[in-house]
Amino acid sequence: MKHTYHIHGMTCNGCRAHVEATLSKVENVLKASVNFEKAEATIEMESHIPIERFQDALKKDGGNYSIHRLGEHHHAKEEKDKQPKGKGTGVFYCPMHCEGDKTYNKPGDCPVCGMDLVEEQNLSTTSSEQWTCPMHPEVVKDQSGACPICGMDLVPMEADISAEEKTYKKLLKKFKLALIFTLPVFLITMSEMLTNNPLNEIMEQKYWNWIQFALSIPVVFYATWMFFERAYRSIKTWNLNMFTLIGIGAGVAWLFSVFGMFFPNIFPSQFQTESGAVHVYFEAATVILTLVLLGQLLEARAHSKTNSAVKELLKLAPNKAIKVVDGKDVEVSIDAIELYDILKVKPGDKIPVDGEVIEGDTTIDESMITGEPIPVNKTVNDKVSSGTINGNQSFLMKAEKVGGDTLLSQIIHMVNNASRSRAPIQNLADKVSGYFVPIVVVISVLTFVVWAIWGPEPVYVYAFVNAIAVLIIACPCALGLATPMSVMVGVGKGAQNGVLIKNAEALEKMDKVTTLIVDKTGTITEGKPSVEKVGSFDDGLTENDILNYIVSLNRNSEHPLAEATVSYGKEQNADILKSDDFSAVTGKGVEGTINNKKVALGNPKMMDYANAAISSEMAEAAKTYQKQGKTVSYLSIDKTVIGYVVIGDKIKETSAKAIKKLQEKGIEVLMLTGDNHDTAQAVASALNLADFKASMLPEDKLREVDKLQGKGKVVAMAGDGINDAPALAKSDIGIAMGTGTSVAIESAMITLVKGDLDGIVKAKNLSHVVMKNIKQNLFFALVYNTLGIPIAAGVLFPFFGILLSPMIAALAMSFSSVSVIGNALRLRNKKI
């Protein structure tokens, strides 16, 4: 037997392999294979195994993953999906993506680079407010009321703070403590520069050294001990990183000082003061460590801003909704909404889930998802999305997608995944970082040797201080953060403007695109029939009279072309006349009786059927539209043709402007369509497109992409249908219209929520500003290290007498990472 199930909780390929291994171990399972992209497990078994056995196996394995029957996963009420807003998902990742898209299930630091792991924002987008008793905290309810134990009113529970906020508060507490103990150490040392040091009048220098030693212990062994733990781990695993250099530099300075106090006689006289005490470097060690801690603190705060786009999207999801039950309005939690529930949305309320309007008309602000500021009119049968804001009219809707299946949830999921992905340009930084730390350690040793041989007196003091400065100033983190920070902010910026990026590679490739292939139907055009013209052949009847007859007859038909005329009639406020004896004639049209007159509507065959003659003038007028690939239907009353309606696939208002902007950017735009040549030529002429191809099958589109790539072109393909999926997958960058099929969206690297070509212009602009920002970051990081390390080594000393204190080096190193993040944050204010 073979069964397929949905797997919930996987975040990377490591999770996929783990789930696959766990399920394979279940007794009587022949083979288990897990598809990460689809979140599905296919299990072959000798005989039927109850799903509960698989659920138990995953639960015993730690409970991070769960298994469900297909179609049931959004009903699973798992603890992980119940977290209050502001908490995250419990999934952590390295901001430098050292191990690709690998994630962790608890906070800590990256085993490769040592940086604090960042928590992914909550994908559930639901937030159940809970209530508790002040006297009996064990009482937790989903709604307000009285405590069942003591009768007191329940009070709202405060949502737990997120992991990143906890990290920030922990670092802030440690920084304050480090500062309290470091400042006295710094002042004691600085007083030695005074001619008449007042501290020497209180006690000798060697005793002040002991005080410095005592004050440094809380800084080294509590506030910044994590840096030494990371340094030790990095050396043990040979994943050398920034903390390796800090650990060695600050550790050597502190240990040197300790040995100098306990065994002063083993050191050369150069290190000793007039009183015989060894000159200690407790202030260098503590100031370096405190400044690095400050850098980590600022970094933690900046990190929280880089994913602010996701946080803003999360805020869109309301906590409550009004459910209509037996004609009554009942306020329920978002978690309680199920498929096909009827919900009432009041003026100004946020729409709780994705669905369809079943009663009422309104306008909806969709700017937070599409980036378009103008509210959209919605009426019966129109789709609405969760998180968008209702205008000034109430309406009823039917829930069609709930929980993790809503558009808002999918956008957040896509943004989170894209934020964790790696751009190819990051490979350069990774290669440099791989050799960076060993080279810096070698330079530090060489610095000591050179100063010890050729430096001025006291040579060993100069050699020691400059070697430490080299270790401290080097910052591999600035290199490592250069790409991921820009990608994270850029992906969030795109999501706020209706451009969903699948991964970081898409941004890099989009910036290099030279040729754009666009499908016609649904991409350039609306992709659905719409009335373009209504005409009259009878001087006694206006176009409105003709429309009244057409709408009155067609409202009984279910044909797509008939629906298009009825929709147009509503827009034009057409009068509905009473029609009887309606019948549809297959392949020809429809007929009925209106005002006791025989009315027929359809193609020339329908007119023959109704014994209504089409004159040559009428046929000639219709031919003009038919050459453009449009459908012309004739209207006859009592065997006389009196009018016509032209139905076509309307070109989207934004298509012409968008294509012009893309051409101005030097992108060659090519239209490929499955439609006939006349229709394609008419659309191409309207858009000033020089290049188009008609009657293209999916394999023809695929071959065209291949052919262009063979000429060295970087090809982007924009489409919305299943027939576009092969070409989307083959192109360098596939762009799907969010209004299209899920197959097309799955095959694409970029999805446009609104589904028009203006989104491609935004995607192109976004990719350009993000890649420019990444290059700025890489340039800054490389230049900083290229200049900083030689200056710390003392190359300016022979010419200008300039040396860099290890404390200044620590300050520069801390702010180099923060400045890279700060530059990435500038993307939030860019207009695309």
* pLDDT reading at 456 higher than 60: yes
The per-residue pLDDT for 100 is: 64
Residue 569 binned pLDDT confidence (cut-offs 50, 70, 90): very high
Q: Is 519 a catalytic residue?
A: yes
The per-residue pLDDT for 448 is: 93
**What is the residue type of 346?**
K
Residue 584: enclosing H or E segment and its boundaries? strand 579-585
Residue 418: enclosing H or E segment and its boundaries? helix 407-420
Q: How far is CA 799 from CA 331, 447, 469, 677, 793, in A?
A: 77, 17, 19, 76, 14
Listed residue (474, 488, 530, 436) closest to 308, CA to CA: 488
The per-residue pLDDT for 99 is: 65
* pLDDT reading at 162 higher than 70: no
Rounded to whole angstroms, the Cα distance separating 419 from 421 reads 6
* pLDDT reading at 126 higher than 80: no
508: Cβ–Cβ under 8 A, 6 or more apart, which residues? 423, 424, 425, 767, 771
3-state secondary structure of 509: helix
Average the pLDDT over each of 302-311, 315-324, 695-704, 799-808 and give the range with the smallest value: 302-311
End-to-end CA distance of the chain: 53
DSSP letter at 81 equals G
Note the pLDDT tens digit of each residue in 474-492. Answer: 877 777 778 888 888 888 8
The per-residue pLDDT for 324 is: 92
Region of residue 78 (phi > 0: left; psi between -120 and 50: alpha; otherwise: beta): beta
Torsion of CA 502, 505, 511, 516, to 10 degrees: -60
Annotated active-site residue in 365, 519, 724, 756: 519
Rounded to whole angstroms, the Cα distance separating 789 from 800 reads 17
The per-residue pLDDT for 561 is: 82
Note the pLDDT tens digit of each residue in 218-245. Answer: 999 999 999 999 889 888 888 777 788 8
More confident residue, 440 or 192: 440
* pLDDT reading at 727 higher than 80: yes
Rounded to 5, what percent of the chain is helix, strand, coil?
A: 50, 20, 30
Q: How far is CA 413 from CA 144, 408, 419, 502, in A?
A: 32, 9, 10, 10
Instruction: Measure the CA angle with vertex 337, ends 333 and 342; round to 5°.
Output: 115
Query: The tokens of 63 are what?
Result: 């409970």
Report yes or no: 546 and 536 within 8 Å, Cβ to Cβ.
yes
The per-residue pLDDT for 300 is: 75
321: Cβ–Cβ under 8 A, 6 or more apart, which residues? 331, 332, 333, 334, 337, 343, 352, 353
Q: DSSP labels for 701-770? A: HHHHHHHHHHTT--EEEEE-SGGGHHHHHHSSEEEEETTS-HHHHHH-SEEESS-STHHHHHHHHHHHHH
Q: Average of pLDDT values for 595-603?
A: 91
The per-residue pLDDT for 412 is: 78
Tracing tokens 């046929």 back to the chain, one arrives at 619
The per-residue pLDDT for 77 is: 38
* pLDDT reading at 370 higher than 50: yes
335: Cβ–Cβ under 8 A, 6 or more apart, which residues? 77, 82, 126, 128
Tracing tokens 């900046």 back to the chain, one arrives at 302
Rounded to whole angstroms, the Cα distance separating 86 from 157 reads 13
Percent of the chain with pLDDT over 70: 88
Crossing angle of the two packed helices 806-825 and 282-306, in degrees rounded to 10: 0
**What is the residue type of 389?**
I
Q: Average of pLDDT values for 641-670?
A: 90
| Number of Cα atoms under 13 Å in the Cβ half of residue 547 | 22
Q: Average of pLDDT values for 321-349?
A: 89
The per-residue pLDDT for 71 is: 65
Tracing tokens 């440094």 back to the chain, one arrives at 216
Residue 573 φ/ψ, nearest 5 degrees: 55, 45
Q: CA 342: distance to chain centroid?
A: 31
The per-residue pLDDT for 761 is: 94
Residue 796 φ/ψ, nearest 5 degrees: -85, -10
Q: Average of pLDDT values for 335-350?
A: 90
598: Cβ–Cβ under 8 A, 6 or more apart, which residues? 591, 610, 637, 638, 639
Report yes or no: 735 and 658 within 8 Å, Cβ to Cβ.
no
Instruction: Measure the CA angle with vertex 46, ends 40 and 51; round to 5°.
Output: 45
Instruction: Measure the CA angle with vertex 128, ends 124 and 130; round to 5°.
Output: 145
Percent of the chain with pLDDT over 90: 23
Beta bridge partners of 365: 389
Note the pLDDT tens digit of each residue in 781-799. Answer: 888 888 889 998 999 988 8
**What is the residue type of 808?**
I
Strands 2-8 and 66-69: antiparallel
Residue 445 binned pLDDT confidence (cut-offs 50, 70, 90): very high
Beta bridge partners of 634: 602, 644
For the chain, give the mean pLDDT: 82
Q: Tell me whether the omega of the peptide bond preceding residue 458 falls within 30 degrees of 0, making it cis.
A: yes
Q: Average of pLDDT values for 170-194?
A: 88
